[in-house]
């Protein structure tokens, strides 16, 4: 009897601690350019709802994605670590679960291309801490059930299991249906952005006692470029308008409207003041997007390929309307959110990302970072290293840039600054050795 009472008291205390913790709504845009939001200088797209997150909180001016495309950044986001430690996820997984470079091809042949369950992920950590968890939207971390969001700690999943799909038929280019609810394919009518938002709102409405982690991963504005209002009953979809900036703008604005609906739901249920809201892009924009004035685009490790918009609000904790100059990167979000929620990291887990909360709250000055990128696709390997303000880019040659003096990467300091470049090369080589994935060792014995 005493043991039962003690257990009940411990359970009640745990529930009380969890109830005091903030909710988390983490929203990710797909291929949104660094200059595609009004608050980041976009002249032709209106994004008042997304911009409101920064107005009620902070807006990063130097936030990076972990990679210049989809799957790598998402794996880093959910694990708080460089995606290279996992292996096979340095490039977006191809349509139909195809590996796009040698390591990924080797894993795909063995049925291992995806985020393995051996990784300790954000939803699993928060679920163990008493949070309700859900993911609505693009997954892109493995097609098979063994890689599903549910098995990584999400109580519920609805969305596109692969990298992209027709916005109305929800099928990939080869006709494969990829819209799933939990681990089963489903058929739904509607524009993907709307379906994702509506499922997220439905789920949030059901939250009662526990704090929640909501991961909303829009597929927009990734290709295909399709008008949200352009559905043609005769074809069952909308025409694809690659390169049509007007349609692209409508896609972003529809996403912005649905972000507004999610924010309104939080307000209506009295949860807004105790909810951390984050919105960011998974990488730079493709040719449909706008990365101006930065150099490069999705797929490259120039600033335009990896510098992304990121806005965060937490009423009463983060100062309103602040622009943050701190260099941040996708993998920082997990340790930052754990610190905000008072949730300890799993024993023995070391994150590569940093806890940015002290800087965001104004309790600490911005600090310098050393960050690395390596992206593979086919036979091509692109690399970059940033140490303080100096950035080395290796991509069909080498360039060295001082981002404090020239963030547009227009003035190559080589060959005149060879000593600095040599130091960055050495740091990059040391990092490559340190993050080499154990599961790739049967395939390769050296990094690269």
Active-site residues, by number, are: 70, 140
Residue with tokens 């919105």: 279
Residues 161 and 192 sit within 8 Å (Cβ to Cβ): no
Closest CA to 295 of 375, 388, 411: 411
Residue with tokens 């526990």: 210
Burial, 316: exposed, middle or buried (Cβ in 10 Å; 0-12, 13-18, 19+)? exposed
Residues 63 and 310 sit within 8 Å (Cβ to Cβ): yes
On the CB side of 191, how many CA atoms lie within 13 Å of its CA? 20
Residue with tokens 């060879």: 418
Question: What does the block give as tokens for 347?
Answer: 């024993």
Helix and strand totals (H; E) in the chain: 11, 16
Ramachandran sector of residue 24 (left: φ over 0; alpha: ψ -120 to 50; beta: rest): beta
Distance CA 394, CA 384 (A): 6
Closest CA to 190 of 207, 211, 175, 169: 169
CA 163 to each of CA 71, 85, 123, 126, 217: distance values in angstroms, whole numbers, following the listed order: 8, 21, 20, 25, 11
């Amino acid at each position: 009897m005493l043991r039962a009472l003690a257990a009940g008291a411990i359970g009640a205390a745990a529930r009380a601690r969890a109830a005091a913790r903030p909710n988390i709504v983490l929203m990710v845009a797909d291929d949104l350019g660094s200059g595609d939001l009004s608050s980041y200088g976009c002249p032709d797209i209106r994004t008042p709802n997304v911009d409101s997150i920064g107005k009620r909180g902070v807006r990063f001016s130097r936030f990076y994605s972990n990679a210049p495309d989809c799957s790598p950044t998402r794996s880093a986001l959910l694990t708080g670590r460089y995606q290279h430690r996992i292996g096979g996820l340095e490039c977006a997984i191809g349509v139909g679960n195809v590996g796009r470079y040698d390591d990924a091809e080797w894993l795909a042949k063995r049925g291992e291309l995806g985020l393995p369950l051996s990784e300790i992920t954000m939803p699993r950590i928060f679920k163990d801490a008493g949070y309700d968890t859900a993911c609505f939207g693009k997954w892109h971390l493995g097609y098979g059930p063994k890689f599903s969001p549910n098995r990584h700690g999400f109580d519920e999943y609805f969305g596109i299991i692969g990298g992209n799909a027709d916005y109305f038929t929800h099928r990939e280019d080869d006709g494969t249906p990829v819209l799933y609810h939990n681990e089963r394919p489903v058929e739904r009518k509607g524009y993907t952005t709307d379906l994702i938002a509506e499922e997220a709102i439905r789920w949030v409405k059901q939250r009662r006692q526990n704090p929640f982690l909501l991961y909303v991963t829009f597929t927009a504005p990734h290709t295909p470029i399709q008008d949200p209002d352009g559905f043609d009953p005769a074809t069952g979809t909308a025409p694809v308008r690659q390169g049509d900036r007007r349609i692209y703008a409508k896609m972003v604005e529809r996403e912005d409207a649905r972000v507004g609906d999610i924010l309104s739901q939080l307000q209506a249920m009295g949860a807004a003041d105790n909810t951390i809201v984050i919105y960011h892009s998974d990488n730079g924009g493709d040719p449909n997007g706008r990365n101006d004035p930065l150099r490069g685009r999705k797929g490259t490790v120039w600033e335009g390929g990896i510098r992304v918009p990121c806005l965060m609000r937490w009423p009463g904790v983060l100062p309103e309307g602040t622009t943050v100059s701190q260099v941040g990167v996708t993998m920082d979000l997990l340790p930052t959110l754990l610190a905000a929620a008072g949730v300890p990291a799993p024993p023995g887990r070391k994150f590569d990302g940093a806890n940015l909360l002290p800087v965001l709250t104004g309790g600490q000055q911005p600090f310098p970072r050393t960050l690395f990128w390596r992206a593979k696709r086919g036979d091509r390997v692109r690399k970059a290293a940033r140490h303080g303000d100096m950035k080395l880019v290796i991509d069909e040659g080498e360039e060295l840039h001082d981002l404090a003096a020239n963030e547009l990467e227009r003035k190559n300091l080589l060959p005149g600054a060879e000593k600095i470049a040599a130091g960055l090369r050495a740091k990059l080589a040391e990092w490559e050795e340190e993050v080499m994935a154990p599961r790739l060792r049967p395939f390769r014995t050296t990094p690269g």
